[in-house]
Amino acid sequence: MVKCQDVMQAMERIAPRRLAEEWDNPGLLVGSPNDDVKKILVALDVREETIEQAIAAGCDMIVAHHPLIFRALKAVRTDDVTGRKIAHLIRAGIAVFAAHTNLDSAAGGVNDVLAEKLGLSAIAPLADGAADGEPGLGRIGSLGEPLSLEAFAALVKERLGLSTLRAVRAGEHEIRRVALCGGSGAEFIGRAAAKGADVYVTGDVKYHDGERAVGLGIHVLDAGHFATEQPIVAALAERLAKALGTGVEISAETKSSDFFQVC
């Protein structure tokens, strides 16, 4: 019988906790390491509909990218969104484990999966990693052939299943080198420019981030937080299945969509 502890150990090999940012809260957030686990649902978020899907599928555990709990709780109240989710999970006997910035940085994690999805080669970390040379946040790589901003934007939309995205044009130069950071990575625009990227792909880009990019001469594509991270869900489910073997059934959550819609 697979235990929750076995899943935790497998996740530690996939996304070591030491790679997490100091402010982050990865790990086992609901449940006990001694819990039996027969079915796991891998998801980006622990949404209320994700919990319902896990219950309907008979899952014992949710492995998510975004932590359900970020900061210390002083109360678990069911009139609060987080408290309601926690109570629902405990009543249903479902454990929750999160791998967040450690999965962003890890080899084969969020950013490597995104880079491969966009067809990049010679992929390297964008941000500095640990002192022992472990990967850091973000990635930078090369396209097989140079593309215009319009052509590359079309490629990103096709690969990520988007109908629209936001673009910041910083001149007329073609794109050969691509930097990226899944989720919210506008803080690395300067680093992407310094490392010679022609375009930076991320989500949650603000107005003055765009202004800075123009000043630095680097195009930016805001493909959204959800779309730049969602590819990890299927990839992580596959890796966990290989790591844990036949003792547990693992599925990838596929019903969630971006909170933001174009009207």
The reported pLDDT for the residue numbered 127 is 83
pLDDT by residue (tens digit) across 53-83?
A: 999 999 999 999 999 999 889 999 999 999 9
pLDDT by residue (tens digit) across 36-52?
A: 999 999 999 999 999 99
User: How far apart are alpha carbons 97 and 15 in whole angstroms?
Assistant: 12
How many residues in the chain? 263
CB count within 10 Å of CB 55 equals 16
User: How far apart are alpha carbons 222 and 203 in whole angstroms?
Assistant: 5
The yes-or-no verdict on residue 129 having pLDDT over 70 is no
* Mean pLDDT of all residues in 98-119: 97
Residue that is written with structure tokens 């402010």 in the block: 23
The yes-or-no verdict on residue 262 having pLDDT over 90 is no
The yes-or-no verdict on residue 131 having pLDDT over 50 is no
pTM over 0.85: yes
As a whole number of angstroms, the longest Cα–Cα distance in the chain is 59
The reported pLDDT for the residue numbered 132 is 58
Q: Is 76 helix (H, G, I), strand (E, B) or coil?
A: coil
| DSSP class of 253 | -
- Helices 81-92, 48-56: axis angle to 10 degrees equals 10
Looking at every residue in the chain, the average pLDDT score rounds to 96
The distance in angstroms from the start CA to the end CA of the chain is 48
